[in-house]
Each structure stands twice: as structure tokens, then as C-alpha cells.
Amino acid sequence: MDMNYVSNLKLFVVAALAMTVVGCSKKGSSSNVDSATGWAINDKQGGFQYNTKFKEQETPPGTAFVEGGTFTMGKVQDDPMHDWNNTPNQQHVQSFYMDEAEVTNLNYLYYLDYLKSVYPPEDPNYASIYKGALPDTLVWRNRLGYNEMMTENYLRHPAYANYPVVGVSWIQAVEYANWRTDRVAEMALQEAGYLKRDAQYTDLNADSSFSTDTYINAPSQTYGGNEDVLKGGKRKPMVDADGNEYNVYASRETGVIPVKFRLPTEVEWEYAALGLSELRNYNTYRGRKKYPWDGQYTRSGKRANRGDQLANFKQSDGDYGGIAGWSDDGADITQEVKYYEPNDFGLYDMAGNVAEWVADVYRPIVDDEFNDFNYFRGNTYYKNALNEDGTVKIVNEVVYDTLSNGKIVARVLPGEIEQVAVDDNETYLRTNFDRADNRNFRDGDKKSSRYYRDNFDEEEEFGTRKMYNSPKHKIQRDSASGELIKEYDTSNRKTSLINDEVRVYKGGSWKDRSYWIDPAQRRYFPQDMATDYIGFRCAVSRVGSKADSDKKTRN
């Protein structure tokens, strides 16, 4: 072969490779490219940063996945009470995650220990934080019953560690969910290398705290601006061509910050409680189901445990568990969570044990004519308060709320962002919402309520012609003595016990007859009061695909 030909061939190959390298360098050093512009994503020189390798939302700790779908909400069996507050209507629910079991005494004690250590009750500035979060253990007392053992031991004794917490109001349950959001996010950021490992033990105090919303909107102000924590993780910031650090903090675009914990909505809770069994026949929707388990009875029909009760509830007058030693349901009050079999979603105690708070404000009618997708009544829209320079307003002092029963609870803690109601800047010319508070939308407000009686004299103070005009007791603190002054609403013109501060609770409890363990049943209770039979569990919304990646292809 001609040597000149070989030499020329080598030169041609080298030149081609050089052109290829030069051509590739124009596209950036990253293989991630924006399909619309051709520009690089996640380039080492800087620019737009985004998690292009995100696969699926991680299952939050302690929860089970609930794939969404359509179902018949409401009472589908006989309704001897004729409440007319749960008539059947078809709803669609998006996928979400729900706690496998109710929040336990141990779970809640961890929360109390955190508050006590970060905000010491002996400090006058924080004295009411811990006290306001304490469950009301006096709910166990009965004027004609001896229950002091539960009053003294149920919350704290290790024998009840994995029993569902009770004596917690709806407001306290919401505050627990908010706290849990921050702790899970804090752990996720540590594991991803954005925060110093174990900072919750070494650097956490009232002046150096972590809030998820603050981290998203003003990350440098979390932990009191402590850079040893904020930059002390294993993941080191990157530097762009000008020497500026980027990717210092995680953002929503990273996919690292978990979705918030919250109370489930009523429609989510009922859908999750029913499970999937008997709801479909192949791909035909059926929708008639009475309990979280198969069948129409409260006892098991399986050969191994035939006759055993599938939940704990009040079976008859004076019978809270059955005859001792045979076919006893295993509990006279509450029972340890996960004692009974789960439903098809892997959820325990969706009937019996304790009833559970859900997020919704109670109204007798579910307005499915206006909405049948992710139905929820109780929306109040807020936004971050801003300083004059446009930065978010971080709270430096505790914001307390005095409830109708005189109890003081902390609603905003130091280091969190102050919230204000949305205004005309958000609502102007919108068609989907026009105000901040939508709790009584289309049901009881001046625009849409149907006065149920016209011969009352209009009294603005009590609003006696309104549908939902429950008694309004007043409580205020004497400025001189600091004592609470309580005034009772003694009007005899009240026509309802419903207002915008009563919340739905679902499922029967250890104290209820079997009629109430039907997931369709719905009752209500004041949001700032507690009982010995209402607990709660948390939910987390699903982001991304409707189904999880483990779902098998169906023929």
C-alpha cells in the first residue's frame, strides 16, 4: 500500500476527530440538553439546573401508596338514621399516600419532646408552645365511670406506646402534620448532602430552626443563617465560570424536598378506607361496599380465624369487646395499631379503634354538582408576607392563638414565614376563585344560602336567618389580671350547631356501634376540642404518574 496514502488517511481521521470534539463542545459539557432550544441543562459552567434523572416520588416514611380512581362516595347500604348527609355521589380521587396506621402515642411523644427541647417551657417566651400541644388527657374522665388509670397512663406509659393518640384536637393534628413535614424534609436534605448530618441534635434551638417553607423561599435564613449547617453536608457547592457558587441549596427543581404531610381530605379517607376489593369486576365498576374488608359482616369468614371480629367497636349495650376468652375482639378501649388485618391498600384500623379527623369543614351536603374531582371543603388561600424590599417576612416571635375553649396554641414558630390572606392581586378577574376564605362557598354564605325561615327578625349580631349560625361563645383575656373572661352565647334563636370551625371525622371507634364503622358515615366536631375516641393519621399528595412503577401491565 502507498505510504503517502496511509499518511494522508491518518491525517484525515485525526482532523475528523478534532472537528467532532469541537462540534460537541459547542453543545456544552453535559449530555442534558433542552429539547426546545438545544441549550445545555446542568452545565458545569452554570446556567439552568434541573433534576433530569428523577424517576419517581419516594414513599414517605410510615405511609402506603393509594392509587387514585373513581368510586361512589356516600352511603350505599341501608340508612336507617336517614341523616341525608351522605347521599351517594360519584367522585374521582388522585393518587396519594396515607399513613399505614393512626398516629400513635409514641409518635406524638416524639413531637412533644422536640418542642420541649427546642422551646423550653420554663422560658416565658415559649411557655405556651409545649402546653398548647399537649393532648387533653382529661377526655378519659366520665362522671359515672372510673377511668383515672387512662387519664394518668394512656399517653405516656410504654404499655400504650403503639396505641393511637387521642385527646388531640383538629388544630393540634394539623400542627403535628406541619412539624412532621419539616422533620422529614430536614432528614431528606441531610441524606442528599445539603445539610450537615445530625444538625437536629447539635445545632437546633429556638434561634436556629428549620422550616421547609423558609428553606424553599429563603434558604440562607434557616438554622438562623448558620453556614456550618447549611454548607456542612457532604455535597459541596459548584462554582461557575465567574467563580460564583451555585447549587448551594436544594430547590423544588432538585426533587429532593419532600411533598408536605397533611390531614387527608374526607373523600381521600373514605376512598382509602374502602380499599379495592369488591369495587370492580374485571374493568366494570361496581361500587357497593359496606366495610374496609370483604363481605357484609364484622366477623371473619376465613377458616383459620372464622368468627373473629375484624375491628374493635362497641358491640351492644355494656359490650365493648365481647365475652372474655372466646371471640373477644381483643380490646375494650383502643387497641395497638396494626393488630387487625389491613385492607387492600395496606391500611390498618380504617374501621374501629379510633375515629379520625379529616381536613374538611363539615356541611350536610357534598356539592358534587360543582366539583367531583379531589373534592374538599375548607380551602383558605394564603401567600407569603413580604418586606418592603420584596423579601419574605420571617417571624422572630411566637404567634399564639386563643381557642374558643380558652386553650392557647402556637400557630407560627420563630423562623417560619408570616402568612397573609390572598388579595386582589391574586383574585382579580379569576374564574376559579375570587376570595381567600372558601369554607362556606355555595353553602351558607350570603351569596348562595337559602334562608330556611323568613319570619325571624334580622339580627346582625347573631345572623338568625342564616343556615349555619351555631352559638358563638366569646372569650377574651383581661388586660390587667391576664385572666380569661368567658361569655356564653345564650341566645334561643340559634338553629344549628354547624359553623366554619367544625370539622368532619370519619370511621367508627372503640366507643361506637358497628353502624358507624361504615367508611361512608360522616360526623362533625369542633376543631379546637378533643375526645377519647378521635385520633388521626396523615396523608401526602402523589406527584407525577398516577400509578407507581411496580404496577404490572394488565391484559
pLDDT (average), residues 172-191: 97
Summarize the confidence of residues 159-183 as an average pLDDT. Answer: 97
* Domain shared by 511 and 396, yes or no: no
- Residue 20 confidence (pLDDT): 46
16 located within any domain: no
Last residue in a domain, options 211, 237, 255 = 255
Q: Is residue 491 part of a domain?
A: no
Residues 349, 311 contacting (CB under 8 angstroms):
yes
- Same domain? 122 vs 268: yes
H/E stretch holding 12? helix 3-25
Q: Once rounded to an integer, what is the mean pLDDT over residues 503-510?
A: 94
- What is the rounded CA–CA span in Å between residue 362 and residue 283? 34
**Does residue 452 sit within a domain?**
no
Residue 11 pLDDT greater than 70, yes or no: no
Closest CA to 290 of 355, 343, 336, 356: 343
Residue 325 lies in a domain: yes
For residues 528 and 501, is the Cβ–Cβ distance under 8 A? yes
363 lies in which domain range?
60-192+258-378+500-549
On whether both 267 and 364 belong to a single domain, the answer is yes
What DSSP line would sit under 473-498, residue for residue?
Answer: -EEEE-TTT--EEEE----S----S-
pLDDT confidence bin for 458, thresholds 50/70/90: very low
Q: Give the pLDDT score at 2.
A: 57
Mean pLDDT of 321-350: 85
Q: Which three cell numbers stand for residue 38?
A: 438545544
Cell of 75: 352511603
Are residue 306 and residue 289 in the same domain, yes or no? yes
pLDDT grade for 329, boundaries at 50, 70 and 90: confident
pLDDT tens digits, 271-311: 999 887 555 555 544 556 667 766 665 656 566 565 566 67
Tell me, letter by letter, the H, E, C secondary structure of 515-534: HHHCCCCEEEEECCCCCCCE
Domain presence at residue 493:
no
CATH number, domain at 535?
A: 3.90.1580.10
Are 390 and 524 members of one domain?
no
How far is the C-alpha of 424 from the C-alpha of 434, rounded, in Å?
8
Are 385 and 528 in a shared domain?
A: no
Residue where a domain terminates, one of 210, 238, 255: 255
Question: What pLDDT sits at residue 555?
Answer: 44
Asked whether residue 505 is domain-assigned, the answer is yes
- Confidence check: pLDDT of 323 > 80: no
Give the side-chain half-sphere CA count within 13 A for 242: 4
Domain boundary pick from 420, 448, 483: 420
Would you say 537 and 531 are in contact if contact means Cβ atoms under 8 Å apart? Answer: no
Residue with cell 402515642: 105
Any domain includes 540:
yes
State the average pLDDT over residues 54-64: 95
**Per-residue pLDDT at 26 exceeds 50:** no
- How many structural domains compose the chain? 4
Residue 453's Cβ-count burial label (10 Å; 0-12, 13-18, 19+) is exposed
Please indicate, yes or no, whether residues 162 and 301 belong to a single structural domain of this protein.
yes
Give the residue-averaged pLDDT of 318-339. Answer: 82
- Render pLDDT for 92-109 as a digit per residue (tens, 0 to 9): 999 999 999 999 999 999
> Contact, 128 vs 401, CB < 8 A?
no
Q: 319: which DSSP letter?
A: B
Q: Are 512 and 366 within one domain?
A: yes
pTM to 2 decimals?
0.88
122 located within any domain: yes
Residue 134 shares a structural domain with residue 186? yes
Distance of CA 325 to the CA centre of its chain: 39
Residue 275 and residue 250 in one domain: no
